[in-house]
Amino acid sequence: MSSKKIQLPREVHIGSHLIEKTGEICNDFKIKGNILVVSGKNTFKIAGSAVIDSLNDNSYLTEHIQINDATEVNVNKVQEKATDFSLIIAVGGGKVIDVAKMASKNMGISFISMPTTASHDGIASPLASIKGENGSLSLQAQSPIAMIADTDIISKAPYKFLSAGCADIVSNYTAVKDWQLAKRLKNEDYSESAAELSLMTAKLIMKSADSIKPGLEESARVVVRSLFSSSVAISIADSSRPASGSEHKFSHALDKIAPKPALHGHQCGVGTILMMALQGGNWQCIRDALKRMNAPTTAAELGIDEDDIIEALTNAHNIREERYTILGDNGLTNSAAKNLAIKTGVI
């Protein structure tokens, strides 16, 4: 009988004013040795400095490194810095967390995820999106031993990040439909439990749409819990399939085409409207929920040219070609893409 390994955090801390408890949490884990804190320039000011203070107050020796993007170059920089360290703590957004995931896995040491925004569902998953010479790749990394989400800090971040996180969760709907299609047509491995958890998470965030408001600590809690639940679905499946399908292909195509792409979650949200319509589902319900969350539903609201939307739709099937979706092997024609975008009001 075959066995399967599921990576999940040992502890999940979600609440306000948790930053100052970082050192205590590390002590509870019996962490010995030095700790490397990885952050961005802004997130160091917002939270990284306080994390270091908490660690120093608990007798940990620390060093700090700042990165600006999730690239192979930055993964290597963190690995070079992490020699003789027992733990990496990632303080920041998705790029910082992805770099820490990959570097810690390559170094054979543990890491703790400390998101400062709730903008995507990779905060606790074992996968990392890293840019190389040939574009972004979804790579097998490792889950954090703990996730510490200070909802006071997250609620004070610009609201666009929270709405992007909501939109990324909503995209689970079309991702699971694509996964089910691939199961039927390509006999792809499929996890009923991962799919159901992913769909339940999307339903809950849509049900909570009216209560997701700027500056509310409780709103941050709801979104972080949902993003964590989505991360667990990815861990159970050992694949991003429960949360990434044709709508993500569309978003990644926009990243390549648009001069100034929008936030990942926002692009996925608009992609979900389009792909739900293509799948014959209730795209109007998706659109209306995104509107209630103050997430973009049109090209204009994304700040992306309509022609780039059409081009992304016609090229999306070329992204991760091994991942079968409603886009099929040949994708959409220009006229079909334009009709779809007009029908859904995206353009």
The tokens for 2 are 């075959």
- Judge whether 234 lies within some domain: no
What value, to the nearest 5°, has the Cα angle with vertex 233 and ends 86 and 182? 125
Neighbour tally for 137: CB within 10 Å: 12
Pairwise CA distance, residues 249 & 233, whole Å = 19
Q: Are 147 and 203 members of one domain?
A: no
Write down the pLDDT at residue 279. Answer: 97
Residue ranges making up the domain that contains 244: 159-227+240-343
Please give the tally of structural domains in the chain.
Answer: 2
Question: Which domain-ending residue is among 133, 156, 179?
Answer: 156
Write down the pLDDT at residue 159. Answer: 95
What value, to the nearest 5°, has the Cα angle with vertex 197 and ends 122 and 146? 40
Q: Are 111 and 32 members of one domain?
A: yes
- Judge whether 120 lies within some domain: yes
Pairwise CA distance, residues 229 & 109, whole Å = 24
- Judge whether 293 lies within some domain: yes
Amino acid sitting at position 47: A
Query: Helix or strand or coil: residue 134?
Result: coil
Neighbour tally for 192: CB within 10 Å: 8
Q: Are 110 and 166 members of one domain?
A: no
Pairwise CA distance, residues 88 & 86, whole Å = 7
Question: Which domain-ending residue is among 132, 156, 180?
Answer: 156
Q: Beta strand pairing status for 135-140 and 11-15? A: unpaired
- Judge whether 3 lies within some domain: no
Q: Are 143 and 188 members of one domain?
A: no
Pairwise CA distance, residues 257 & 2, whole Å = 42
| Residue 54: CATH number of its domain | 3.40.50.1970
Amino acid sitting at position 322: E
Write down the pLDDT at residue 138. Answer: 82
Amino acid sitting at position 35: I
- What are the angstrom distances between the C-alpha of 13 and each of 29, 216, 225? 13, 18, 10
| Residue 219: CATH number of its domain | 1.20.1090.10
Write down the pLDDT at residue 1. Answer: 45
- Judge whether 6 lies within some domain: no
Q: Are 71 and 220 members of one domain?
A: no
Q: Are 132 and 171 members of one domain?
A: no
Q: Are 133 and 203 members of one domain?
A: no
Q: Are 326 and 193 members of one domain?
A: yes
- Judge whether 318 lies within some domain: yes
Pairwise CA distance, residues 334 & 89, whole Å = 46
Question: Which domain-ending residue is among 156, 191, 208?
Answer: 156
Q: Are 124 and 178 members of one domain?
A: no
pLDDT values of the chain reduced to their tens digit, one per residue, 347 residues: 466 778 889 999 999 999 999 999 999 999 999 999 999 999 999 999 999 999 999 999 999 999 999 999 999 999 999 998 999 999 999 999 999 999 999 999 999 999 999 988 889 999 998 887 766 778 889 999 999 999 999 999 999 999 999 999 999 999 999 999 999 999 999 999 999 999 999 999 999 999 999 999 999 999 999 999 999 999 999 999 999 999 999 999 999 999 999 999 999 999 999 999 999 999 999 999 999 999 999 999 999 999 999 999 999 999 999 999 999 999 999 999 999 999 999 99
Write down the pLDDT at residue 7. Answer: 84
Contact 166, 213 (CB under 8 A): no
Q: Are 152 and 163 members of one domain?
A: no
Write down the pLDDT at residue 4. Answer: 72
Write down the pLDDT at residue 29. Answer: 92
Among 43, 295, 64, 38, CA closest to 154: 43
Q: Are 179 and 260 members of one domain?
A: yes
Among 296, 341, 282, 287, CA closest to 314: 341
Among 243, 265, 209, CA closest to 94: 265
- Judge whether 235 lies within some domain: no
- Judge whether 4 lies within some domain: no
Q: Are 17 and 152 members of one domain?
A: yes
